[in-house]
A and B are shown apart, each in its own frame.
Chain A
């Protein structure tokens, strides 16, 4: 995530004009939303589960250092090796070093958003190592040179006719229909070879257990299990916030996660491994613990709840903004409401200042979040940081030239005194005269407000404010 990326409104404008994307996104998000609602409603203790999930995460984050050290000891005891990576570069160097150390030029990868965060595939490619994505959707994206637009359903913005086109172009098949089973079979044939030839597997991690050193990957296709069991060397990359204290904590999270993410009661493939076992599975296991900005997030009392996230993507599916723009508009590995609060905290507010504003603050995300991240609260908190950042950068005359800052300052002044406020009401009524000669205002001249009248009429100001009516009525009542 380097260099200036386009702002959310700029990218959203492009995405919104793509009618195929709008249809694909609308259909997919509505379907997952309905499935989730169904399986959440059937649990009588859902609210207690959410609260427990939140409480466990909060307590983990408070004592993160202790849990991570315990995890390191457990993993080492079980025959694994733990590596600490301060940032993306360090993590990439560690992983590339292990792969090269084994003389491998190819790795089999199970979907890992964290590896997208550190741009692992690019870093490996630069060192002559090819990363093969084995998740069906990730494969589609990779073949097409595209980028993921959803945590769980990275190709959510594509439909099966489009996927058929991509496969016909890039896979060794002559004939293919858009039947989902046939598409999956084509991908399976392509991938089986890769699983068997790869000498190093790379995975993410949904959870890691400090007490036992066990690492978990939760998926629906079985490809993850292939990646974590077939190659003789396994490397797992995880953000430091993913640690859980005990195995029993999974009781809560393995209920919360599948119901929130895919709308399933139980997750189809849950792979758990603890270090290495002789003669069974990988004989070498490396766990890479990634910070990459997370300890900075921990320092912020309001922002830190963002690290509760278990990447279920319920907030994406329910978000009225995401379900229309799709994920690419966020220009961030983490899209949707959670991306709008996570990315600015990880990369710095100045590098993603349009993201905290990519929300109406409708609160639908908070309502579905299985670990109760108050996303609207964090969005507003980050907006405050954006404004502060701008104010610090543009001190003096430049701050006064920023139209938004100027308008906010002027309005704060107007609202600070009754006399100024009432005078402003009268002036606005006079000022609108040329615009509102007859009926509603359908065109505002350029500037801040012109976006409004692109689609909406603006009601003209009435002849009398409420308070003028009140004062008049009070006067006439007093006279009577």
Chain B
């Protein structure tokens, strides 16, 4: 299977370790990973903030860059959902605004092949035990777009339960949004903080040392506050936990 890594601009720039973990993990499982260097940003921020017309060239770029792969994997639930669930709408806007029908056709080809990491592993590759070792107390936050747009369901938890050495604890009110919401955290900073306060309380209640999720954007929001409070709890992307082994447990 030709698997392309869609790293997302956010991870590429801010969380390169997550991308390296995806590569290490998939190669360990015997897959070859390709990284098309022409990829930049999927346009989620533009689209969700109301700059949909501005996101059209980014969608065109995406479908061009990722055409021809069997599967496209992303360590971000929200960016994967942007492509799979909302590129169709961008295709419609391209028809309405610019009379361009090509984007919609290309989206129909490429978008269904985009998977968030846990979906690819459990749903497409059929693995739950990836041979990981992670001797830490961990709680999992199901991010909203993984949960409600992609509907990844139990996949991340199945993967985590199979990790050796892990002490996995349930997060209370896990399905409640953390308050990030992209530009929401900036435009509605006060409400975002009120939501974050509750999420932090639940994370701290678990006495976990690590909070994990399938999206570094939500984790940056939660982790930024955990760091500010010097709480002694850190955030780690799911991919990095799955990539860790007895021989290579640096994360």
Contact = CB atoms under 8 A, between A and B. Distances in A.
Among B55, B192, B193: residue with most chain A CB under 10 A: B192
Given A324-B194, A452-B186, A384 B16 contact: no
A468 B147 CA distance: 32
Interface residues of A, number: 64
Interface stretch (B124-132, B160-168, B202-210, B217-225): B217-225
Interface string A387-420: 1100000000000000010001101101111100
Interface of A: 8-9, 12-13, 16, 22, 320-321, 324-325, 356-364, 366-367, 377, 380, 383-388, 404, 408-409, 411-412, 414-418, 421, 425, 428, 440, 442, 448-449, 451-452, 454-459, 461-462, 464-471
Interface string B31-74: 00001011011010111111111110110010000000000000
Contacts of A380: 47-48, 50, 52, 86
Given A324-B195, A418-B40, A409 B52 contact: no
A359 B58 CA distance: 24
Contacts of B221: 456
A357 B193 contact: no
A418 B196 CA distance: 35
Given A467-B12, A471-B37, A408 B49 contact: yes
Contacts of B37: 418, 467, 470-471
B28 to A, nearest CB: 15
B46 A362 contact: no
Contacts of A361: 48, 144, 181-182, 184
B188 A9 contact: yes
B228 A451 contact: no
A462 B196 contact: no
Interface in B194-251: 194-196, 220-221, 223-225, 227-228
A414 B35 CA distance: 20
A471 B16 CA distance: 13
B190 A469 contact: no
Given A324-B191, A363-B149, A459-B14, A415 B40 contact: yes
Contacts of A466: 7, 11-12, 15-16, 19-20
Nearest to A420: B40
A360 B186 contact: no
